[in-house]
Chain A
Amino acid sequence: MNENENFESLRQLLSLKRHEVPPPGYFNRFSGQVIARIRAGEREAESATPWYLRFMQMFEMKPAFASSFASALCLLLLFGIVYAEQSDQTTPQASLFPSTAMSSESLVPNQVALNSMSQPPAPNVNVFADSISNSAPSSLQPLFGSSGNVFAQQASFNFSR
């Protein structure tokens, strides 16, 4: 008895396995069943997934959708900027940013300050209340006026009790 011969007859016997076949028509239905199970699983997953996760999944599945969505956002932003600039040109007074040039309104405090210098101070004026303030100056309000000039104010001290 030789080993090769034994394996040869084993090979012959194993060839029987190739003749074991599933019921007729089995493979005609197989792929349809798999696809149906996949669809059922997807429907189940969709109903269980919150809407925002499904929205994010759309980006993963369809990069084209993601890029078109981003393009639409960019266009919207661009339109917003252009529209805002146009509205600025039509109404310059409504500018969000203060003009660095001295306007007529900025002169008003200076005039007030000059007037106060020429007039005598009101009696019993609490000087410390005016000159010392506990509130910190706001960064948007210049300490010495919008024009950068130092205001002069006449000081008076009342020593009477």
Chain B
Amino acid sequence: MRLQASGVRLGYGDRIIVDGLDLGIEAGTVTTIIGPNGCGKSTLLRALGRLLKPAGGEVLLDGKRIDRIPTREVAKILGVLPQAPVAPEGLTVADLVARGRHPHQTWYRQWSSDDESAVSEALSMTGLLDLADRPLDELSGGQRQRAWISMALAQGTELLLLDEPTTFLDLAHQVEVLELVRRLHAEAGRTIVMVLHDLNLAARYADRLVAMRAGRVVAAGTPHEVLTEALLRDVFDLDAKIISDPVAGTPLVVPIGIRPSP
């Protein structure tokens, strides 16, 4: 188990969103967290990435409490890409991706050949080498998202947490980003945890699905185990039919309508 939450209690101030949640992430898997808005998916991901300190319970990275490992050491093992990140105006793609090397740099040694090769490798993996000198503001939404993922890649971590990496992207760009995630997993052996809204894409691109509702894990397992008509009723209050995805053979959700809440 590379990353583990045990009995975590999460929230902001007095507002507790997740209480007593357990979740383990195994090495070399792609795990996708699904659930309705406000169920605590992003909060959980932030806690797994030590961006949010649990009010109770603990998060373990390779068996050690993540808050007891120096944060710079964590940053060499675990990368996190938050939802809708911001960048200062005029920042070029290459500059952004170079900032991913931050944990590997000291203030007196700012740039090394390792940094250089990690940055160009990340850019070639995301197909952005030709756009390296362009300011981020001039890119399309999909290109910008790939630039941010490149930054996280340049960090060179085995674990990567992505919070809604496909938000605001059209379907083609969503697929493009998720194909990149699949390649990272298949060819570079990364362990990936992400939050996604699109259930069909989640089923297609994840080894494991974790379904949450109201701060609890309702079901976890393979897409076939988790994405059932009963679960969609329980988690999303959605009446739907599950058929087999004619392309990938994964479960495909066809919505029927909203169930009135009990």
A associates with B: no
